[in-house]
Amino acid sequence: MSVSLVEAFAGLLLVFVLPGFSVSRALFPEWRFRGEEGLTRIVETATLSLVLSVALTILLGFGLLNSPVGFSAAWGDPTLEVGLAAITAIALVAAGARGAFSSTPPTAPPLEPLSGEDGGAEALGRAEDLSREERRLRHALRVAPDDVTAARLRTDLGRVRDEARRLGAAREEEYAQ
């Protein structure tokens, strides 16, 4: 039995590309291949397509071999190819329904914030600012020219330390919940 070049190419696409591509488009309809992240999305989709296609081929072949249908892994039995084509068609319909091929991408599902993450960057920035301010005030206190200036600097230093303690306690309480 000879296999034409067209049949070989179609079989390779069906085993290594099409099922995984259609499933990846159904899973991630918001991915676009243009724009700032275009190249990244192309690489991610190509890799995911290859891995998913091989995994789906293996799972479908295993399922068919262990089914009572009587599948044989012979070259003339098109059951595996029909199954992969069905997976591809179903996934393409799902991808189309989810907006993967529309001109405007659907919005990505919102990420659920983990506890302790709300305002984490702002709190860290504020803590660094307070630490910097504390160092500045301690230095100014060491070189203070008179007692009046030193008293004002001590008051400011106490205020900065209290705010830093409150910020730390608030973050610890947030993480504890």
For residue range 91-100, list pLDDT tens digits in order: 999 999 999 9
CA angle 150, 153, 156 (to 5 degrees): 155
Q: For 126, list phi and psi in degrees, rounded to 5.
A: -65, -40
Rounded distance, CA 80 to CA 21, Å? 18
Q: Which range of residues forms the domain containing residue 163?
A: 120-176
45: pLDDT strictly greater than 60: yes
Asked if residue 72 and residue 25 are part of one domain, the reply reads yes
Looking at the domain assignment, is residue 104 inside a domain?
no
Question: Could you give the number of structural domains in the chain?
Answer: 2
Please say whether the beta carbons of 73 and 65 come within 8 A.
yes
* Average pLDDT estimate for 167-175: 82
Asked if residue 85 and residue 44 are part of one domain, the reply reads yes
* Average pLDDT estimate for 46-50: 96
Asked if residue 22 and residue 93 are part of one domain, the reply reads yes
Looking at the domain assignment, is residue 12 inside a domain?
yes
Please say whether the beta carbons of 14 and 49 come within 8 A.
no
Domain boundary among 63, 97, 131: 97
Asked if residue 81 and residue 10 are part of one domain, the reply reads yes
Asked if residue 87 and residue 37 are part of one domain, the reply reads yes
**Res 118: pLDDT:** 56
Of 101, 76, 171, nearest to 130 by C-alpha is 171
